[in-house]
Protein backbone atom coordinates (compact mmCIF):
# COMPACT_ATOMS: atom_id res chain seq x y z
CA UNK A 1 0.00 0.00 0.00
CA UNK A 2 2.22 2.73 -1.24
CA UNK A 3 -0.51 5.32 -0.67
CA UNK A 4 -0.73 4.48 3.03
CA UNK A 5 2.83 5.61 3.83
CA UNK A 6 3.99 9.14 3.13
CA UNK A 7 7.77 9.49 3.40
CA UNK A 8 8.95 12.48 5.47
CA UNK A 9 12.01 12.76 3.23
CA UNK A 10 9.95 13.94 0.22
CA UNK A 11 10.73 17.63 -0.50
CA UNK A 12 8.04 19.97 0.79
CA UNK A 13 7.39 21.81 -2.44
CA UNK A 14 3.64 21.47 -2.73
CA UNK A 15 0.51 22.02 -0.73
CA UNK A 16 -0.15 18.29 -0.64
CA UNK A 17 3.28 17.49 0.74
CA UNK A 18 2.93 20.27 3.29
CA UNK A 19 -0.41 18.94 4.47
CA UNK A 20 1.05 15.47 4.75
CA UNK A 21 3.52 16.60 7.42
CA UNK A 22 1.09 15.96 10.23
CA UNK A 23 1.20 13.37 13.01
CA UNK A 24 -0.99 12.43 15.97
CA UNK A 25 0.03 13.77 19.40
CA UNK A 26 -1.23 10.70 21.30
CA UNK A 27 1.74 8.89 22.94
CA UNK A 28 2.54 5.67 21.10
CA UNK A 29 0.46 6.50 18.02
CA UNK A 30 2.55 6.38 14.83
CA UNK A 31 -0.08 7.79 12.45
CA UNK A 32 1.63 10.17 10.04
CA UNK A 33 0.25 11.96 6.97
CA UNK A 34 -3.09 11.09 5.38
CA UNK A 35 -3.09 7.35 4.57
CA UNK A 36 -6.29 5.49 3.64
CA UNK A 37 -7.11 2.75 6.14
CA UNK A 38 -9.26 -0.16 4.90
CA UNK A 39 -12.56 -0.21 6.77
CA UNK A 40 -11.84 3.26 8.17
CA UNK A 41 -11.19 5.46 5.21
CA UNK A 42 -8.79 8.33 4.89
CA UNK A 43 -7.16 9.46 8.14
CA UNK A 44 -8.30 12.85 9.39
CA UNK A 45 -6.84 15.05 12.15
CA UNK A 46 -8.81 17.04 14.68
CA UNK A 47 -7.73 20.11 16.65
CA UNK A 48 -8.24 20.50 20.38
CA UNK A 49 -11.23 22.51 21.61
CA UNK A 50 -10.43 26.20 22.12
CA UNK A 51 -8.84 27.45 25.36
CA UNK A 52 -11.40 27.89 28.10
CA UNK A 53 -13.61 25.07 26.83
CA UNK A 54 -13.99 22.34 29.53
CA UNK A 55 -13.61 19.68 26.81
CA UNK A 56 -10.04 20.85 26.15
CA UNK A 57 -8.97 19.66 29.59
CA UNK A 58 -10.83 16.37 29.12
CA UNK A 59 -8.95 15.77 25.85
CA UNK A 60 -5.62 16.29 27.62
CA UNK A 61 -6.64 13.93 30.42
CA UNK A 62 -7.81 11.22 27.97
CA UNK A 63 -4.60 11.20 25.94
CA UNK A 64 -2.61 11.12 29.21
CA UNK A 65 -0.52 14.20 28.54
CA UNK A 66 0.24 17.16 30.78
CA UNK A 67 0.93 20.61 29.40
CA UNK A 68 4.52 21.58 30.22
CA UNK A 69 7.68 22.86 28.58
CA UNK A 70 7.81 19.58 26.62
CA UNK A 71 4.19 19.59 25.47
CA UNK A 72 1.93 22.53 24.72
CA UNK A 73 -1.41 22.52 22.92
CA UNK A 74 -1.21 24.81 19.89
CA UNK A 75 -3.20 25.28 16.68
CA UNK A 76 -1.07 22.54 15.05
CA UNK A 77 -1.57 19.98 17.84
CA UNK A 78 -3.99 17.34 16.56
CA UNK A 79 -5.45 13.91 17.36
CA UNK A 80 -6.04 11.45 14.49
CA UNK A 81 -9.44 9.96 13.71
CA UNK A 82 -8.35 6.47 14.85
CA UNK A 83 -8.89 7.58 18.47
CA UNK A 84 -12.56 8.52 18.03
CA UNK A 85 -15.56 6.20 17.81
CA UNK A 86 -17.71 6.18 14.66
CA UNK A 87 -20.49 7.91 16.55
CA UNK A 88 -18.23 10.89 17.29
CA UNK A 89 -17.22 11.49 13.64
CA UNK A 90 -19.24 12.66 10.63
CA UNK A 91 -18.17 11.16 7.27
CA UNK A 92 -17.96 13.41 4.17
CA UNK A 93 -18.18 11.30 0.96
CA UNK A 94 -16.93 14.02 -1.33
CA UNK A 95 -13.59 14.53 0.46
CA UNK A 96 -13.44 11.09 2.04
CA UNK A 97 -12.58 12.63 5.43
CA UNK A 98 -14.29 12.92 8.75
CA UNK A 99 -15.08 15.83 11.07
CA UNK A 100 -15.69 15.54 14.80
CA UNK A 101 -19.13 16.19 16.19
CA UNK A 102 -19.65 18.81 18.94
CA UNK A 103 -18.92 17.53 22.46
CA UNK A 104 -16.89 14.50 21.41
CA UNK A 105 -13.62 13.42 23.06
CA UNK A 106 -10.96 10.84 22.04
CA UNK A 107 -11.60 7.50 23.76
CA UNK A 108 -9.95 4.81 21.58
CA UNK A 109 -6.32 4.03 22.55
CA UNK A 110 -5.75 0.35 21.64
CA UNK A 111 -2.13 0.86 20.62
CA UNK A 112 -1.15 1.71 24.21
CA UNK A 113 -1.30 -2.00 25.06
CA UNK A 114 1.84 -2.54 23.00
CA UNK A 115 3.87 -0.26 25.31
CA UNK A 116 3.65 -2.46 28.42
CA UNK A 117 6.50 -4.83 27.58
CA UNK A 118 8.78 -1.94 26.60
CA UNK A 119 7.98 -0.09 29.83
CA UNK A 120 8.83 -3.17 31.89
CA UNK A 121 12.07 -3.58 29.97
CA UNK A 122 13.08 0.04 30.66
CA UNK A 123 12.30 -0.43 34.37
CA UNK A 124 14.52 -3.55 34.49
CA UNK A 125 17.72 -1.97 33.11
CA UNK A 126 18.99 1.42 31.88
CA UNK A 127 18.93 1.96 28.14
CA UNK A 128 21.53 3.70 26.07
CA UNK A 129 20.69 5.87 23.06
CA UNK A 130 21.06 3.03 20.55
CA UNK A 131 18.77 0.69 22.50
CA UNK A 132 16.11 3.40 22.83
CA UNK A 133 16.26 4.00 19.08
CA UNK A 134 15.89 0.28 18.36
CA UNK A 135 12.88 -0.01 20.67
CA UNK A 136 11.23 2.97 19.01
CA UNK A 137 11.72 1.34 15.62
CA UNK A 138 10.28 -1.94 16.87
CA UNK A 139 7.22 -0.18 18.25
CA UNK A 140 6.71 1.52 14.88
CA UNK A 141 6.98 -1.78 12.96
CA UNK A 142 5.43 -4.35 15.32
CA UNK A 143 2.05 -5.77 14.33
CA UNK A 144 -0.87 -4.58 16.40
CA UNK A 145 -2.46 -7.67 17.97
CA UNK A 146 -5.66 -5.89 18.90
CA UNK A 147 -8.20 -4.44 16.51
CA UNK A 148 -9.62 -0.93 16.49
CA UNK A 149 -13.31 -0.48 17.12
CA UNK A 150 -13.97 -0.69 13.38
CA UNK A 151 -12.40 -4.18 13.22
CA UNK A 152 -9.33 -3.10 11.22
CA UNK A 153 -5.70 -3.34 12.26
CA UNK A 154 -3.29 -0.41 12.53
CA UNK A 155 -2.27 0.86 9.08
CA UNK A 156 1.46 0.59 9.75
CA UNK A 157 1.27 -2.94 11.19
CA UNK A 158 3.52 -5.69 9.74
CA UNK A 159 4.35 -9.18 10.80
CA UNK A 160 6.41 -9.48 13.98
CA UNK A 161 8.87 -11.66 12.16
CA UNK A 162 9.69 -8.85 9.77
CA UNK A 163 11.05 -6.59 12.50
CA UNK A 164 14.51 -5.38 11.54
CA UNK A 165 17.06 -3.16 13.22
CA UNK A 166 17.41 0.10 11.35
CA UNK A 167 20.80 1.90 11.39
CA UNK A 168 20.97 4.66 13.97
CA UNK A 169 21.73 7.36 11.45
CA UNK A 170 18.55 6.53 9.51
CA UNK A 171 16.43 6.47 12.65
CA UNK A 172 17.45 9.91 13.78
CA UNK A 173 17.01 11.31 10.29
CA UNK A 174 13.37 10.32 10.46
CA UNK A 175 11.52 13.26 12.01
CA UNK A 176 8.47 11.21 12.92
CA UNK A 177 10.47 8.55 14.78
CA UNK A 178 12.41 11.21 16.70
CA UNK A 179 9.17 12.87 17.71
CA UNK A 180 7.74 9.57 18.89
CA UNK A 181 10.92 8.86 20.83
CA UNK A 182 10.55 12.08 22.83
CA UNK A 183 6.90 11.35 23.48
CA UNK A 184 7.69 7.84 24.69
CA UNK A 185 10.45 9.16 26.93
CA UNK A 186 8.01 11.58 28.53
CA UNK A 187 5.41 8.86 28.91
CA UNK A 188 7.79 6.31 30.45
CA UNK A 189 9.81 8.68 32.64
CA UNK A 190 6.88 10.47 34.27
CA UNK A 191 6.55 7.70 36.87
CA UNK A 192 10.32 7.70 37.43
CA UNK A 193 10.28 11.46 37.98
CA UNK A 194 7.52 11.06 40.52
CA UNK A 195 9.50 8.41 42.40
CA UNK A 196 12.65 10.58 42.30
CA UNK A 197 10.70 13.51 43.75
CA UNK A 198 9.48 11.31 46.60
CA UNK A 199 13.03 10.10 47.18
CA UNK A 200 14.29 13.68 47.14
CA UNK A 201 11.71 14.75 49.73
CA UNK A 202 12.74 11.83 51.92
CA UNK A 203 16.41 12.80 51.62
CA UNK A 204 15.59 16.42 52.49
CA UNK A 205 13.83 15.28 55.65
CA UNK A 206 16.81 13.14 56.53
CA UNK A 207 19.13 16.09 55.89
CA UNK A 208 17.15 18.32 58.26
CA UNK A 209 17.28 15.60 60.89
CA UNK A 210 21.06 15.25 60.55
CA UNK A 211 21.45 19.02 60.60
CA UNK A 212 19.56 19.20 63.90
CA UNK A 213 21.69 16.41 65.34
CA UNK A 214 24.84 18.25 64.22
CA UNK A 215 23.73 21.43 65.98
CA UNK A 216 23.00 19.42 69.12
CA UNK A 217 26.45 17.84 69.03
CA UNK A 218 28.07 21.24 68.54
CA UNK A 219 26.19 22.66 71.51
CA UNK A 220 27.31 19.70 73.62
CA UNK A 221 30.91 20.29 72.57
CA UNK A 222 30.62 23.95 73.49
CA UNK A 223 29.49 22.97 76.98
CA UNK A 224 32.86 21.33 77.48
CA UNK A 225 34.68 24.57 76.67
CA UNK A 226 35.51 27.43 78.99
CA UNK A 227 32.44 29.67 78.74
CA UNK A 228 30.34 31.98 80.90
CA UNK A 229 27.47 29.46 80.72
CA UNK A 230 29.55 26.95 82.69
CA UNK A 231 30.71 29.25 85.51
CA UNK A 232 29.08 29.53 88.92
CA UNK A 233 29.09 32.69 91.07
CA UNK A 234 32.38 31.73 92.74
CA UNK A 235 34.06 31.23 89.36
CA UNK A 236 32.61 34.50 88.05
CA UNK A 237 34.00 36.34 91.08
CA UNK A 238 37.46 34.86 90.52
CA UNK A 239 37.69 35.45 86.78
CA UNK A 240 35.87 38.80 86.51
CA UNK A 241 35.97 40.46 89.93
CA UNK A 242 32.16 40.73 90.01
CA UNK A 243 30.40 39.23 92.99
CA UNK A 244 28.00 37.08 90.95
CA UNK A 245 26.77 36.13 87.51
CA UNK A 246 23.86 38.55 87.98
CA UNK A 247 26.27 41.49 88.35
CA UNK A 248 28.17 40.30 85.26
CA UNK A 249 24.91 40.31 83.29
CA UNK A 250 23.93 43.76 84.57
CA UNK A 251 27.26 45.26 83.51
CA UNK A 252 26.99 43.57 80.11
CA UNK A 253 23.43 44.87 79.67
CA UNK A 254 24.66 48.38 80.43
CA UNK A 255 27.46 48.07 77.88
CA UNK A 256 24.88 46.70 75.37
CA UNK A 257 27.10 45.19 72.64
CA UNK A 258 23.97 43.74 70.96
CA UNK A 259 22.73 40.13 70.72
CA UNK A 260 25.37 39.36 68.09
CA UNK A 261 27.77 42.18 68.98
CA UNK A 262 26.44 44.45 66.25
CA UNK A 263 26.71 47.58 68.44
CA UNK A 264 30.49 47.43 68.65
CA UNK A 265 33.24 47.68 66.07
CA UNK A 266 35.69 44.81 66.24
CA UNK A 267 39.35 45.32 65.56
CA UNK A 268 40.30 42.90 62.73
CA UNK A 269 43.97 43.73 62.23
CA UNK A 270 46.19 40.67 61.60
CA UNK A 271 43.38 38.24 62.40
CA UNK A 272 43.66 34.65 61.17
CA UNK A 273 39.95 33.91 60.87
CA UNK A 274 37.41 36.73 60.97
CA UNK A 275 34.60 34.17 61.34
CA UNK A 276 35.83 33.50 64.89
CA UNK A 277 34.53 36.88 66.08
CA UNK A 278 32.51 38.43 63.25
CA UNK A 279 30.14 36.75 60.79
CA UNK A 280 27.59 38.89 59.01
CA UNK A 281 26.26 40.36 62.22
CA UNK A 282 23.70 42.53 60.40
CA UNK A 283 22.02 39.48 59.01
CA UNK A 284 21.80 37.87 62.43
CA UNK A 285 24.34 35.12 61.96
CA UNK A 286 26.00 34.56 65.38
CA UNK A 287 29.73 34.79 65.86
CA UNK A 288 31.75 31.83 67.09
CA UNK A 289 32.33 33.75 70.34
CA UNK A 290 29.17 35.29 71.77
CA UNK A 291 29.39 38.83 73.23
CA UNK A 292 29.11 37.29 76.72
CA UNK A 293 32.17 35.11 76.17
CA UNK A 294 34.09 37.91 74.46
CA UNK A 295 33.50 40.06 77.55
CA UNK A 296 34.54 37.12 79.75
CA UNK A 297 37.74 36.73 77.71
CA UNK A 298 38.52 40.44 78.12
CA UNK A 299 37.97 40.27 81.89
CA UNK A 300 40.09 37.11 82.19
CA UNK A 301 42.90 38.95 80.45
CA UNK A 302 42.77 42.10 82.57
CA UNK A 303 41.49 40.75 85.93
CA UNK A 304 43.27 37.39 86.22
CA UNK A 305 46.11 38.28 83.85
CA UNK A 306 45.79 35.10 81.78
CA UNK A 307 48.15 35.03 78.83
CA UNK A 308 46.79 35.19 75.31
CA UNK A 309 48.03 31.68 74.52
CA UNK A 310 46.12 30.32 77.52
CA UNK A 311 42.95 32.16 76.48
CA UNK A 312 43.20 30.87 72.91
CA UNK A 313 43.18 27.30 74.26
CA UNK A 314 40.37 27.95 76.73
CA UNK A 315 38.03 29.54 74.19
CA UNK A 316 39.13 27.52 71.14
CA UNK A 317 40.20 30.50 69.00
CA UNK A 318 43.48 31.77 67.58
CA UNK A 319 45.91 33.98 69.49
CA UNK A 320 45.33 36.83 67.04
CA UNK A 321 41.60 36.60 67.82
CA UNK A 322 42.33 36.93 71.55
CA UNK A 323 44.48 40.01 70.88
CA UNK A 324 41.79 41.62 68.74
CA UNK A 325 39.03 40.87 71.25
CA UNK A 326 41.13 42.52 73.97
CA UNK A 327 41.69 45.68 71.93
CA UNK A 328 38.08 45.82 70.70
CA UNK A 329 36.53 45.46 74.14
CA UNK A 330 39.00 47.88 75.73
CA UNK A 331 37.90 50.56 73.26
CA UNK A 332 34.21 49.63 73.55
CA UNK A 333 34.15 49.61 77.36
CA UNK A 334 36.16 52.85 77.46
CA UNK A 335 33.54 54.53 75.27
CA UNK A 336 30.49 53.13 77.10
CA UNK A 337 31.78 53.48 80.67
CA UNK A 338 33.07 56.94 79.79
CA UNK A 339 29.46 58.10 79.61
CA UNK A 340 29.05 57.50 83.36
CA UNK A 341 29.04 60.61 85.54
CA UNK A 342 31.25 59.38 88.36
CA UNK A 343 31.77 62.85 89.90
CA UNK A 344 29.22 62.98 92.78
CA UNK A 345 27.52 66.18 93.92
CA UNK A 346 28.45 67.72 97.26
CA UNK A 347 25.13 66.50 98.69
CA UNK A 348 25.83 62.92 97.63
CA UNK A 349 29.38 63.08 99.01
CA UNK A 350 28.15 64.22 102.41
CA UNK A 351 25.28 61.69 102.42
CA UNK A 352 27.62 58.70 102.03
CA UNK A 353 30.58 60.20 103.95
CA UNK A 354 31.90 58.03 106.83
CA UNK A 355 31.33 59.40 110.30
CA UNK A 356 35.06 59.98 110.89
CA UNK A 357 35.15 62.35 107.91
CA UNK A 358 32.04 64.16 109.06
CA UNK A 359 33.63 64.77 112.43
CA UNK A 360 37.10 65.86 111.29
CA UNK A 361 37.03 66.82 107.58
CA UNK A 362 33.40 67.41 106.56
CA UNK A 363 34.34 69.70 103.65
CA UNK A 364 36.41 66.99 101.89
CA UNK A 365 35.21 66.53 98.33
CA UNK A 366 37.88 64.18 96.96
CA UNK A 367 41.06 62.37 98.01
CA UNK A 368 43.77 62.22 95.32
CA UNK A 369 46.99 60.33 94.74
CA UNK A 370 49.20 59.19 91.86
CA UNK A 371 50.30 55.69 90.97
CA UNK A 372 52.58 54.09 88.39
CA UNK A 373 52.62 50.92 86.28
CA UNK A 374 55.71 49.42 84.66
CA UNK A 375 56.10 49.38 80.89
CA UNK A 376 58.56 47.79 78.48
CA UNK A 377 61.66 49.83 77.76
CA UNK A 378 61.53 51.52 74.38
CA UNK A 379 64.38 51.50 71.89
CA UNK A 380 63.87 55.25 71.48
CA UNK A 381 66.24 57.14 73.76
CA UNK A 382 63.80 60.03 74.10
CA UNK A 383 60.85 57.81 75.10
CA UNK A 384 63.14 55.80 77.37
CA UNK A 385 64.14 58.93 79.28
CA UNK A 386 60.57 60.22 79.45
CA UNK A 387 59.16 56.98 80.88
CA UNK A 388 61.95 56.53 83.43
CA UNK A 389 60.77 57.10 87.02
CA UNK A 390 63.33 57.96 89.70
CA UNK A 391 60.81 56.92 92.37
CA UNK A 392 60.37 53.41 90.91
CA UNK A 393 63.80 53.17 89.23
CA UNK A 394 62.03 51.73 86.18
CA UNK A 395 60.22 52.78 83.03
CA UNK A 396 56.63 53.56 84.01
CA UNK A 397 53.40 55.30 83.12
CA UNK A 398 51.77 57.50 85.77
CA UNK A 399 48.13 58.32 86.44
CA UNK A 400 46.10 60.41 88.91
CA UNK A 401 43.27 58.77 90.84
CA UNK A 402 40.61 60.56 92.90
CA UNK A 403 38.08 58.95 95.24
CA UNK A 404 35.19 60.29 97.28
CA UNK A 405 35.33 59.96 101.10
CA UNK A 406 33.10 56.87 100.76
CA UNK A 407 35.86 55.12 98.79
CA UNK A 408 34.38 55.05 95.25
CA UNK A 409 36.45 56.24 92.30
CA UNK A 410 35.35 59.72 91.27
CA UNK A 411 38.21 60.75 88.94
CA UNK A 412 40.60 58.86 86.63
CA UNK A 413 43.21 60.68 84.59
CA UNK A 414 44.88 59.42 81.46
CA UNK A 415 48.34 57.90 81.79
CA UNK A 416 51.41 60.10 81.45
CA UNK A 417 55.09 59.23 81.16
CA UNK A 418 56.71 58.29 84.46
CA UNK A 419 58.97 61.35 84.71
CA UNK A 420 56.03 63.73 85.27
CA UNK A 421 55.60 65.34 88.71
CA UNK A 422 52.48 65.25 90.88
CA UNK A 423 51.94 68.98 90.43
CA UNK A 424 52.25 68.81 86.62
CA UNK A 425 49.94 65.85 86.31
CA UNK A 426 47.32 67.71 88.38
CA UNK A 427 47.48 70.63 85.97
CA UNK A 428 47.48 68.59 82.76
CA UNK A 429 44.93 65.93 83.69
CA UNK A 430 41.93 68.28 83.78
CA UNK A 431 41.39 67.72 87.51
CA UNK A 432 41.21 71.46 88.26
CA UNK A 433 38.36 71.84 85.76
CA UNK A 434 36.03 69.64 87.81
CA UNK A 435 32.85 71.34 89.16
CA UNK A 436 34.00 72.16 92.70
CA UNK A 437 31.83 74.15 95.12
CA UNK A 438 33.18 77.07 97.08
CA UNK A 439 34.52 75.88 100.42
CA UNK A 440 35.39 72.35 99.26
CA UNK A 441 38.66 70.78 100.38
CA UNK A 442 40.97 68.20 98.81
CA UNK A 443 42.99 65.66 100.76
CA UNK A 444 46.35 64.61 99.33
CA UNK A 445 49.90 63.54 100.13
CA UNK A 446 52.83 65.87 100.72
CA UNK A 447 53.92 65.67 97.07
CA UNK A 448 50.86 67.65 96.00
CA UNK A 449 52.07 71.15 96.78
CA UNK A 450 49.24 72.72 94.75
CA UNK A 451 47.53 75.15 97.12
CA UNK A 452 48.28 78.06 94.78
CA UNK A 453 46.50 76.23 91.97
CA UNK A 454 43.49 75.45 94.15
CA UNK A 455 43.16 79.07 95.28
CA UNK A 456 41.96 79.89 91.77
CA UNK A 457 38.94 77.61 92.24
CA UNK A 458 38.45 78.51 95.95
CA UNK A 459 39.31 75.04 97.20
CA UNK A 460 41.35 74.21 100.33
CA UNK A 461 44.16 71.62 100.44
CA UNK A 462 44.58 69.17 103.34
CA UNK A 463 48.03 67.59 103.34
CA UNK A 464 50.28 66.37 106.16
CA UNK A 465 52.49 69.12 107.66
CA UNK A 466 56.14 69.45 106.64
CA UNK A 467 59.06 69.34 109.03
CA UNK A 468 59.87 72.61 110.74
CA UNK A 469 63.18 74.37 111.00
CA UNK A 470 64.28 72.03 113.79
CA UNK A 471 63.74 68.90 111.68
CA UNK A 472 61.25 67.69 114.20
CA UNK A 473 57.48 67.85 114.21
CA UNK A 474 55.54 69.32 117.03
CA UNK A 475 53.02 67.24 118.89
CA UNK A 476 50.17 68.92 117.05
CA UNK A 477 51.78 68.21 113.66
CA UNK A 478 52.21 64.56 114.54
CA UNK A 479 48.56 64.23 115.52
CA UNK A 480 47.47 66.02 112.36
CA UNK A 481 49.67 63.77 110.18
CA UNK A 482 48.22 60.66 111.79
CA UNK A 483 44.67 61.96 111.42
CA UNK A 484 45.09 62.75 107.71
CA UNK A 485 46.91 59.47 107.07
CA UNK A 486 44.09 57.51 108.70
CA UNK A 487 41.59 58.97 106.21
CA UNK A 488 43.88 59.23 103.20
CA UNK A 489 44.67 55.53 103.39
CA UNK A 490 41.43 54.82 101.51
CA UNK A 491 42.83 56.21 98.27
CA UNK A 492 45.72 53.74 98.57
CA UNK A 493 43.18 50.94 99.01
CA UNK A 494 41.29 52.12 95.95
CA UNK A 495 44.49 52.12 93.88
CA UNK A 496 45.35 48.63 95.11
CA UNK A 497 41.87 47.56 94.05
CA UNK A 498 42.58 48.81 90.52
CA UNK A 499 45.94 47.07 90.53
CA UNK A 500 44.26 43.85 91.60
CA UNK A 501 43.58 43.59 87.88
CA UNK A 502 46.61 41.39 87.33
CA UNK A 503 47.36 42.59 83.86
CA UNK A 504 49.30 45.34 85.67
CA UNK A 505 51.44 42.75 87.49
CA UNK A 506 53.32 42.24 84.25
CA UNK A 507 55.48 44.74 82.44
CA UNK A 508 53.13 46.25 79.86
CA UNK A 509 54.51 45.41 76.38
CA UNK A 510 54.96 48.11 73.77
CA UNK A 511 52.37 46.33 71.62
CA UNK A 512 49.69 47.42 74.13
CA UNK A 513 50.80 51.05 74.29
CA UNK A 514 47.99 52.04 71.94
CA UNK A 515 45.35 50.54 74.26
CA UNK A 516 46.87 50.72 77.74
CA UNK A 517 45.22 54.06 78.54
CA UNK A 518 41.78 52.59 77.73
CA UNK A 519 42.54 49.42 79.71
CA UNK A 520 43.68 51.44 82.74
CA UNK A 521 40.57 53.63 82.71
CA UNK A 522 38.20 50.67 82.20
CA UNK A 523 39.76 48.72 85.06
CA UNK A 524 39.41 51.76 87.34
CA UNK A 525 35.74 52.21 86.40
CA UNK A 526 34.96 48.49 86.75
CA UNK A 527 35.81 48.76 90.46
CA UNK A 528 32.57 50.74 90.81
CA UNK A 529 30.69 47.47 90.18
CA UNK A 530 32.65 45.58 92.84
CA UNK A 531 32.20 45.48 96.61
CA UNK A 532 32.96 48.91 98.22
CA UNK A 533 36.14 49.35 100.25
CA UNK A 534 34.28 51.24 103.02
CA UNK A 535 31.11 49.88 104.58
CA UNK A 536 28.59 52.64 105.20
CA UNK A 537 26.08 51.65 107.88
Min mean pLDDT across 12-21, 92-101, 383-392 is at: 12-21
Q: Is residue 537 part of a domain?
A: no
Q: Provide, rounded to the nearest whole percent, the portion of the chain with pLDDT above 90.
A: 38
Query: Mean pLDDT throughout 499-514?
Result: 92
Domain end point (choices 337, 369, 401): 337
Does the pLDDT of residue 435 top 80, yes or no? yes
What pLDDT, on the 0 to 100 scale, is given for residue 464? 86
Helices within 465-515 (DSSP H only):
475-499
Based on the fold, state whether residues 88 and 219 are members of the same structural domain.
yes
- CA-nearest of 133, 503, 482, 141 to 303 is 503
525 pLDDT band, cuts 50/70/90, is very high
What pLDDT, on the 0 to 100 scale, is given for residue 196? 86
Domain that holds residue 55: 1-224
Q: Is the dihedral of CA 520, 524, 529, 533 positive or negative?
A: positive
Does the pLDDT of residue 524 top 70, yes or no? yes
Based on the fold, state whether residues 240 and 352 are members of the same structural domain.
no
The answer to whether the CB of 429 falls within 8 A of the CB of 400 is yes
86 pLDDT band, cuts 50/70/90, is confident
Q: What CATH number is attached to the domain comprising 476? A: 3.30.420.10
Q: How far is the first Cα of the chain from the last one, in angstroms, to the nearest whole number?
A: 122
Query: Mean pLDDT throughout 86-91?
Result: 84
Q: Is residue 79 part of a domain?
A: yes
DSSP 3-state assignment of 111? helix
Q: Is residue 535 part of a domain?
A: no
What pLDDT, on the 0 to 100 scale, is given for residue 181? 56
pLDDT, tens only, 32-52? 888 877 777 788 888 999 888
Helices within 225-351 (DSSP H only):
233-240, 245-255, 291-299, 308-315, 319-337, 346-351
- CA-nearest of 319, 317, 323, 299 to 309 is 319
Q: Is residue 534 part of a domain?
A: no
**Distance between CA atoms of residues 33 and 524, nearest Å:** 98
- CA-nearest of 326, 333, 199 to 264 is 333
Q: For the chain, give the number of residues.
A: 537
Does the pLDDT of residue 303 top 80, yes or no? yes
What pLDDT, on the 0 to 100 scale, is given for residue 454? 92
Based on the fold, state whether residues 186 and 38 are members of the same structural domain.
yes
Query: Mean pLDDT throughout 95-121?
Result: 73
DSSP 3-state assignment of 404? coil
What pLDDT, on the 0 to 100 scale, is given for residue 265? 83
The answer to whether the CB of 448 falls within 8 A of the CB of 463 is yes
Based on the fold, state whether residues 185 and 322 are members of the same structural domain.
no
Burial environment of residue 218 by CB neighbours within 10 A (0 to 12, 13 to 18, 19 or more): exposed
135 pLDDT band, cuts 50/70/90, is low
pLDDT, tens only, 373-398? 999 999 999 999 999 999 889 999 99
Based on the fold, state whether residues 365 and 328 are members of the same structural domain.
no
Domain end point (choices 200, 224, 248): 224
**Distance between CA atoms of residues 144 and 158, nearest Å:** 8
What pLDDT, on the 0 to 100 scale, is given for residue 185? 62
Q: Is residue 536 part of a domain?
A: no
The answer to whether the CB of 84 falls within 8 A of the CB of 45 is no
Q: Which residues pair with 92 in a beta bridge?
A: 97
Q: Is residue 191 part of a domain?
A: yes
What pLDDT, on the 0 to 100 scale, is given for residue 535? 73
Beta strands 364-374 and 36-37: pairing type? unpaired
Based on the fold, state whether residues 120 and 211 are members of the same structural domain.
yes
Based on the fold, state whether residues 187 and 212 are members of the same structural domain.
yes
**Exposure class string for 364-394: b at 16+ Cβ within 10 A, else e:** bbbbbbbbbbbbeeeeeeebeeebbbeeeeb
251 pLDDT band, cuts 50/70/90, is very high
Cβ partners under 8 Å of residue 48, min gap 6: 56, 59, 60, 73, 77, 78, 79
What pLDDT, on the 0 to 100 scale, is given for residue 221? 58
Min mean pLDDT across 86-90, 147-151, 347-351 is at: 147-151
**Distance between CA atoms of residues 370 and 372, nearest Å:** 7
Q: What is the mean pLDDT of the chain?
A: 79
**% helix / strand / coil in the chain, to the nearest 5?**
50, 10, 40
**Distance between CA atoms of residues 82 and 90, nearest Å:** 13
pLDDT, tens only, 399-428? 999 999 999 999 999 999 999 999 999 999
CA distances (Å), origin 33, targets 2, 7, 96, 320, 537: 13, 9, 15, 79, 111
Does the pLDDT of residue 275 top 60, yes or no? no
Based on the fold, state whether residues 436 and 288 are members of the same structural domain.
no
252 pLDDT band, cuts 50/70/90, is very high
Of the spans 159-163, 168-172, 207-211, 262-266, which averages the highest pLDDT? 207-211
Query: Mean pLDDT throughout 52-62?
Result: 87
Based on the fold, state whether residues 190 and 278 are members of the same structural domain.
no
Does the pLDDT of residue 146 top 90, yes or no? no
- Number of domains observed in the structure of the chain: 3
More confident call, 255 vs 134: 255
pLDDT, tens only, 469-506? 556 777 777 888 888 888 899 999 999 999 999 999 99
Based on the fold, state whether residues 312 and 277 are members of the same structural domain.
yes
Based on the fold, state whether residues 155 and 108 are members of the same structural domain.
yes
CA distances (Å), origin 422, targets 18, 98, 293, 525: 110, 118, 39, 22
**Distance between CA atoms of residues 491 and 487, nearest Å:** 8
Domain end point (choices 168, 196, 224): 224
Q: Is residue 176 part of a domain?
A: yes
Q: Which residues pair with 411 in a beta bridge?
A: 402
Helix 319-337 vs helix 308-315: angle between axes, to the nearest 10 degrees? 100
Based on the fold, state whether residues 7 and 119 are members of the same structural domain.
yes
Amino acid sequence: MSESIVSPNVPSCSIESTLSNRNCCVPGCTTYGYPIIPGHGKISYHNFPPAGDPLRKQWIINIKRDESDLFKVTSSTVVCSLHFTKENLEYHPFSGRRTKLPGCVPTVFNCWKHLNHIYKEQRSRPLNALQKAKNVTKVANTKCSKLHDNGETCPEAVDEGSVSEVPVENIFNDASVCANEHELDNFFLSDEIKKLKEKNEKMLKEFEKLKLENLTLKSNINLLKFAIENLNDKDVNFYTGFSSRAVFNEVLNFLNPGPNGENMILNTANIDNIDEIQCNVKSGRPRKLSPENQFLMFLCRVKVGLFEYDLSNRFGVSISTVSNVLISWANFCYQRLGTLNIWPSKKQVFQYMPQSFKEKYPSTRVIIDCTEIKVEMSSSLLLKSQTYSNYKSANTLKGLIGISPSGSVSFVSQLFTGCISDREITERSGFLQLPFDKGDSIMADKGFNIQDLLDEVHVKLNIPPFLGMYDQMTGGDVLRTQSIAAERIHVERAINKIKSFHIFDQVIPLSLMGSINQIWTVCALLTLFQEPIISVS
